[in-house]
A = this chain, B = another copy of it.
Amino acid sequence: MRDHAAARERVRAVLDAVRSAGRTALTAAEAESVAAAYGIPTPPQALATDAEEAVLRAEEIGWPVALKVVSPDVVHKTEAGGVRTGLTGPDQLREGYAALLDSVSSHVPGARIEGVQVQRMVTAGQEVLVGAATDPTFGKIIAFGLGGVLVEALGDLTFRLAPASWDEARSMLDSVRAAEVLRGVRGAPPADRDALTGLLVRVSHLAADFPELTEIDLNPVFAAPDGVVAADVRLLLGEPEESERPRHSTEEILASMRRLMEPRAVVVIGASNEPGKIGNSVMRNLVDGGFAGEIHPVNPKADQVLDRKAYPTVGDVPGEVDVAVFAIPAPLVPAALAEAGRKGVPNAVLIPSGFAETGEHALQAEVVAIARQHGIRLLGPNIYGYYAPWQNLCATFCTPYDVRGGVALTSQSGGIGMAVLGFARATGTGVSAIVGLGNKSDLDEDDLLTWFAQDEHTRCVAMHLEDLKDGRAFVSAARETVRKKPVVVLKAGRTAAGSRAAGSHTGALAGDDAVYDDVLRQAGVIRAPGLNEMLEYARALPVLPTPQGENVVVITGAGGSGVLLSDALVDNGLSLMEIPEDLDAAFRAFIPPFGAAGNPVDITGGEPPSTYEATIRLGLDDPRIHALVLGYWHTIVTPPMVFAELTARVVADARARGIDKPVVASLAGDTEVEEACGYLFDHGVVAYPYTTEKPVAVLGAKYRWARAAGLLPGRP
């Protein structure tokens, strides 16, 4: 593939020929020529039209050989008996050739047989499979897995977006569970990793260059120590899917998003004086929230709403309007939206339900068409609205929220949005935005990511989503964002049952969630396993500084916590640092002789505050240590708040000296540990009571982000 353009031309010619012959399946010879164009190694092979020619070809190619029928009428060659393998000499070949023809003509009567492909048998190396497919969310993806029925039964496959870079393709080799087999087990030689990586890259380009290749299936590929060979190449032609989704430039997105998230004038269409009405709640929240810009009620039947002059239509509102919040029944939305469009309002927040989610697809399509016509961006419909605490903006019918901070939270579902709000309030989580996405008729996660990526208030983005309208756009926005700040995603509908509940048509595809999982990881997103984890990661990640290396040390007053914390570290992909001798001696100097240094550093339970203090300080000061996990045990000698205060002080002191490492803590004790955890959180230490898993899971999430953002160069 030195000359990519020439390769494309060659393949284009082959595919055009197949298409003009009215076929969808490529013959072995056609597939071979496509493979050759893209540098995909295949075994030596040649076409023969009778048995004697096949013997000649086999003598040239080298024994043993396989025979495969070439016929436009035979799609499933093996099932039709059109494949013979392991032929070691002329006689066997002649017998096989005859049997093959018999078998094919009895299975597919009247099949036109153009000949038989004679192919050198490959058996050396580990069987793997390489493929490409079109995912409904992400488009062209490549798949890799080890071969053999057992591993296929385990579904041990990994996926990446096509085209894939060298590094992305390389990472696939280690992403299957049976990865060590490629490194050589039981004395078997390791596979040629460079050759395999190159093959994956080339297949990914083939898939990306020719969207109409709906199926690319190299199975088996033999990965030997000295190269790879695709023993069977199956290619199918179909119709490339056309996306009719409009794309906006980053500048366009930011221009409208800025007016949505930092508006100067907001109108509420359907503003009402009547308590219990959504139009009343929204007005009240906007006014009570302290939004400093203009707030104009629109209501043709009222002169005033909440002591503000009401206008009959949005067109009557004086001056520029940045956001129109709709609090009117769904059927009334189109007319009002057109009015807003004529007024030049760039953003419509569609709170009402009664659109696609209730089967009213036509109404939603009408609204989308009106919006496009006028260049309005739509948030919703079917949402609770949105919060922008830094603007004192509560454009929602829910309860107000005003704790400013660094977390931007979005949810596709209103119920989950309420859980986000309740959790944020219960934990005092500082928020930069809470946004409902609902039906995502227009604005979706990638627009929001584009905004949050450059929003200085936002230090972490957490998103609940059930589907993605445009997986590629999301990945692209996520990649940009992840360079600057962590993105946490809770993907609902992971399981088939969940997918059905989400009404997702893609849910029926086996492996669908595996694709999401791999692609989200490829994009550098931290996937939360559940709602509570998403919320905790969102709350805690901005509290932690970014680690500068992989060496994690556990310092614990409770040996029992040390064991559970060690388990949690392994579960979360973290590394218990191997403590060098001098550091071990330094820790030992502070702890009782029967305490255990090493890692965890077990300072034992009866120790005074000074022991916690000395060991934590040492852990912060030693530059070889990159993160601390603390296990506290409630005792009379060192009560919870004493521990919390000393820890906060030592951490603050280190930060003042320019040492900023992530510190998380698990507090085991009576209920006073809850207050201590709150104090620690407020002072930059992520701390939880009654759990050894949560603090480590948060640290693990921070590490996953740091690695994905390229901030930990030691690890990919």
Q: Which A residues form the contact surface with B (CB < 8 A)?
A: 146, 148-154, 156, 177-178, 180-181, 185-186, 188, 276, 281, 353-354, 357-359, 398-399, 411-416, 418-419, 421-423, 425-426, 464, 466, 490, 492-498, 500-503, 529-532, 535, 554, 556-571, 576, 592-594, 596, 600, 605-606, 631, 633-634, 636, 668-674, 689-694
Partner of A535, one of B281, B423, B690: B690
Q: Are B181 and A563 in contact (CB under 8 A)?
A: no
With A and B bound together, what is the CA distance between A148 and B148 in angstroms? 10
Partner of A422, one of B596, B605, B670: B670
Residue of B nearest to A513 (CB): B567
- Also in contact, A636 and B276, with CB within 8 A (given A415-B559, A415-B605, A560-B464): yes
- Also in contact, A426 and B668, with CB within 8 A (given A181-B149, A276-B636, A594-B359): no
Partner of A492, one of B411, B529, B563: B563
With A and B bound together, what is the CA distance between A353 and B557 in angstroms? 14
Which are the 6 A-B pairs with shortest beta-carbon distances?
Answer: A413-B560, A415-B558, A358-B594, A498-B567, A419-B668, A495-B570
User: Would you give the shortest CB distance from A508 to chain B, in whole angstroms?
Assistant: 15
Q: Are B670 and A563 in contact (CB under 8 A)?
A: no
Q: How many copies of this chain are found per oligomer?
A: 2
Residue of B nearest to A413 (CB): B560
With A and B bound together, what is the CA distance between A148 and B181 in angstroms? 11
Contact partners of A693 in chain B: CB under 8 A: 529-532
With A and B bound together, what is the CA distance between A464 and B559 in angstroms? 13
Partner of A669, one of B180, B419, B600: B419
Partner of A154, one of B177, B411, B605: B177
Q: Are B493 and A416 in contact (CB under 8 A)?
A: no
Q: Are B426 and A557 in contact (CB under 8 A)?
A: no
With A and B bound together, what is the CA distance between A498 and B559 in angstroms? 11
Partner of A493, one of B414, B535, B556, B563: B563
Contact partners of A636 in chain B: CB under 8 A: 276, 281
Residue of B nearest to A691 (CB): B532
Partner of A563, one of B466, B605, B669: B466
- Given contacts A415-B560, A492-B563, 20 further A-B pairs with CB under 8 A are A148-B150, A150-B151, A150-B178, A358-B592, A411-B560, A414-B605, A415-B561, A418-B558, A422-B634, A423-B690, A426-B671, A466-B560, A495-B566, A495-B571, A497-B566, A497-B567, A503-B596, A530-B564, A530-B693, A531-B691
Partner of A569, one of B357, B426, B497, B690: B497
Q: Are B150 and A426 in contact (CB under 8 A)?
A: no
Q: Are B148 and A531 in contact (CB under 8 A)?
A: no
User: Would you give the shortest CB distance from A694 to chain B, in whole angstroms?
Assistant: 7
User: Would you give the shortest CB distance from A83 to chain B, in whole angstroms?
Assistant: 15
User: Would you give the shortest CB distance from A513 to chain B, in whole angstroms?
Assistant: 9
A sample of 16 cross-chain residue pairs with beta-carbon separation below 8 angstroms, ordered by A number, consists of A146-B150, A149-B186, A151-B151, A153-B178, A154-B156, A354-B594, A357-B594, A359-B594, A414-B605, A414-B633, A415-B633, A419-B690, A466-B563, A497-B569, A502-B563, A532-B693
Residue of B nearest to A186 (CB): B149
